[in-house]
Amino acid sequence: MPLSTSNSPPANKLLASLPAPQYQRLTPYLEEVSLPVGQVLYEPGEVIQYVYFPNQAMVSLVSILEDGSTAEVGMVGNDGIVGYPVFLEGNLTTHRAIVQIEDTAMRMNAETLKTEFNRGETLQKLLLRYTQALLTQVSQTAACNRHHPLEERLARWLLTAHDYSLSDELPLTQEFISNMLGTRRASVTVAAGMLQ
């Protein structure tokens, strides 16, 4: 649901890193939208219509296996963008993007982002640098899922979620967290007990 367009300083760190003239050029194309918990921004195979720059929302990038089971492969917070395939010349998503912590995001039409990216200015450099950071996060997640016990994976996940939410309270259920970690809820309950 659209809230407004914004001329105020951006809460998203990518947008905040732009030189003022470049950010001002983008503001007519940025629309602040509410991202409620559980909102699915994309499903695998969908054409990307919009990209999202989260403010204090957190979005999980989730792989869905053939049997329907899920595992989170990445998280996007106020330092990133949801919809990175758009500027990498991809139009379709390969994962589900689902809101985990509600807040707002700045939404932009995907075609507009492509045009701005192709200008080759600061936005392009920031988006490529962010993509490298996201790929590092995905690689680290894969390594952790393979080599670390659930307690360590849960601790890492909670710390990352805390960093993105900028809050000491994470309004998430153990069921939701278990889906993100690709494990049973009962296992998350035991692991959470060990962390207390």
70-76/58-64 β-pairing: antiparallel
pLDDT of 163 over the 60 cut:
yes
48 and 83 in contact (C-beta within 8 Å)? Answer: yes
pLDDT of 1 over the 60 cut:
no
Mean pLDDT over residues 83-102, rounded? 92
What pLDDT shows up at residue 7? 54
97 and 107 in contact (C-beta within 8 Å)? Answer: no
What pLDDT shows up at residue 21? 95
Instruction: Give per-residue pLDDT as tens, 103-148.
Output: 999 999 999 999 999 999 999 999 999 999 999 988 887 887 778 8
Instruction: Give per-residue pLDDT as tens, 174-190.
Output: 887 777 777 787 777 77
pLDDT of 12 over the 70 cut:
yes
For tokens 């994470």, name the residue: 170
pTM of the model: 0.83
Q: How far apart are CA 22 and CA 105, in angstroms?
A: 19
Residue 72 DSSP SS3: strand
87 and 127 in contact (C-beta within 8 Å)? Answer: yes
Task: Quote the tokens at residue 9.
Answer: 């300083």
Instruction: Give per-residue pLDDT as tens, 13-26.
Output: 999 999 999 999 99
pLDDT of 3 over the 60 cut:
no
Residue 153 identity (one-letter amino acid):
R
User: In the predicted model, what is the mean pLDDT of the chain?
Assistant: 87
pLDDT of 93 over the 60 cut:
yes
What pLDDT shows up at residue 46? 95
Structure confidence at residue 4 as a pLDDT band (50, 70, 90) = very low
Domains, the chain, ranges and CATH? 2-195 (2.60.120.10)
For tokens 């792989």, name the residue: 63
Structure confidence at residue 43 as a pLDDT band (50, 70, 90) = very high
Structure confidence at residue 154 as a pLDDT band (50, 70, 90) = confident
